[in-house]
Amino acid sequence: MTRRNITQKLDNRPSSLMPIAVDVDLVRFEKNLLQIGFFGANDARDKNRTSRRIEQIVFRNGHKVKVAAEFRGSEQLGLPSTTDRDKFIALLKIISEERAKTGQITNPIRFSGYRMIQELGISRNGEIYEEIVRWGKRMTDTTITSEQVVYRAAKKVYSDEVLHVFRAFKRTGSSNLNGTEKQEHYEVTLEDWLIENLNQRYVIPEDFNAYKQLTRPTAKGIFGNLHLWFHASQGRQVEKDYAELCNLLNVQAYPHLSKIKSTMGLALNELVKIKYISKWDVLPMTSKNGYKIVLMPGAELLRVLDNSRPEQRELNTVSVEEPSAENDDAAKLLIKHGITAAKARQLVDRFGPDTVTDTVEYFESETSAGKRSRVDNPSGLIIWSLENGVTVPAGFISSRRRETSRQASERDRAKQEAIQNLQNNYQSWVDAKRKEAVAIQYPGEKLLEKVKEIVKSRRTDPYFVRAPATQRVNLAMQIINKDVRDTLVLPSFDEWRSENSQISLF
């Protein structure tokens, strides 16, 4: 099935949307724990499992590399699951607020049970405190054996080592004998590698408010990965091997399409409801046996990805340091209108040169237009406007705003050109890899035989058979190229760019 037919089929699927919370509560989730599937979407019958192993083929430095992560826990506590992920995100929220105060994350992390309950948005009862304790013990107890899969952001290496997430966890506090009026507090000591990665911002932003609307463990397990997948695809359609996805999520994979849609389909529908995906489908893979999950991004996910880009954060950051030359120019404008030098400097220091310049230029434009030609005390009016916070209309383009806009446009244009050039180079590189793989998989006459096989198999496709013979051959080649591309383990644009450019896009 061609991409066009896939898209048409997706467009015909009904979707039921419900409102999502307007406020976005970004929590930055450590990428390794997401990519290696540390938190499984375990079902009840799997709760006693004490080990699991995930192997992946990844692309690094131009080569395919086999990496693996193995998780081991105790029989008493088991392995981390989605409920543990809930509490870990709440902990990250608490950590982020502490970091905002100090600028760095440091051990130990202290928090109250009531604070975590508030973040999770659940009812307060005696059992929840015991759940927090079991969570802390399980996070401390679980061992990760990394075989070139856990990335150490500070050292810029993939590790071959045995790791933990929590180095230590302990509870303090007291309660009545009947378990009421608990005043419990907890202390977590994070492992060094995790603190380093969080401080190095080796993270992916997730909206905690949207996450808390999900109820199905599989939906929660997919949620974080959506940010990675659609960031890498730059908002385009994503296709994932169903069996590999089930292995990552630690859920059972089913061989029949109807069962897949009745199990994972329910989780995907939850993600549609919160507008994180707009459409989904399950389609057979042509390059090998099995199925693939086809996903289209939702409006809320795209909004979160867009708002978490560094360019957007820079726009929301107000600089408090102004060049002295700008201060001098603003003060001269005030003096020009009869304000004393001392008062002019005071006004510039208080309101900043931008506000002063815009206010004075707006006053000048109004005067030149004849609207205030009878003002007897222009200096007094300017001072009054500044001190009373009279804002300049947004539509008024001052010289400062005009110059700022021009410079921003030049920067954006240069950056977009550089990004476009990189994307073109990346696509050319991908095409070359695809051609190389086609030549290896279908050498010599085998390629022609494969083309004939596809043309023959499409005789029942009305769109295919209506095409001229030469066009059918071209379409068959496109199908082969796509199928081979799907089997390749290639770096995303961002991964490729990190090895070929210093431009940061996220």
User: pLDDT grade, residue 455 (50/70/90)?
Assistant: confident
Which 3-state string (H, E, C) describes 105-161? CCCCEEEEHHHHHHHHCCCCCHHHHHHHHHHHHHHHHCEEEEEEEEEECCCCEEEEE
pTM over cut 0.75: no
> What are the beta bridge partners of residue 190?
166
Q: Is the pLDDT of residue 140 over 90?
A: yes
Q: Is the pLDDT of residue 3 over 50?
A: no
Helix segments in 240-387, DSSP class H: 242-249, 257-273, 299-307, 310-315, 324-336, 341-368, 378-387
Ramachandran region, residue 335 (left: φ > 0; alpha: ψ -120 to 50; beta: rest) = alpha
| Domain covering 1-20+213-308 in this structure, CATH number | 1.10.10
Residues 174-180: what's their mean pLDDT?
Answer: 52
Q: Is 122 exposed, middle or buried (0-12, 13-18, 19+ CB in 10 A)?
A: middle
Which stretch of 101-110, 131-140, 311-320, 415-424 has the lowest confidence by average pLDDT?
A: 311-320
**The residue type at 41:** A
User: pLDDT grade, residue 420 (50/70/90)?
Assistant: confident
Residues 270-287: what's their mean pLDDT?
Answer: 88
User: pLDDT grade, residue 55 (50/70/90)?
Assistant: confident
Residue 65's φ and ψ, nearest 5 degrees, are: -130, 135
Tokens matching residue 472: 């059918």
Quick: pLDDT tens for 297-351: 888 888 888 776 653 343 333 333 444 677 888 888 888 888 888 888 888 888 8
Quick: pLDDT tens for 219-262: 898 898 888 888 877 788 888 888 888 888 888 889 888 899 98
Ramachandran region, residue 37 (left: φ > 0; alpha: ψ -120 to 50; beta: rest) = left
Which stretch of 51-65, 362-376, 405-419 has the lowest confidence by average pLDDT?
A: 362-376
What pLDDT, on a 0 to 100 scale, did the predictor assign at position 42? 67
- Extents of the domains making up the chain: 1-20+213-308, 29-206, 324-396, 416-500
Which 3-state string (H, E, C) describes 164-224? CCEEEEEEEEECCCCCCCCEEEEEEEECHHHHHHHHCCCEEEEEHHHHCCCCCHHHHHHHH
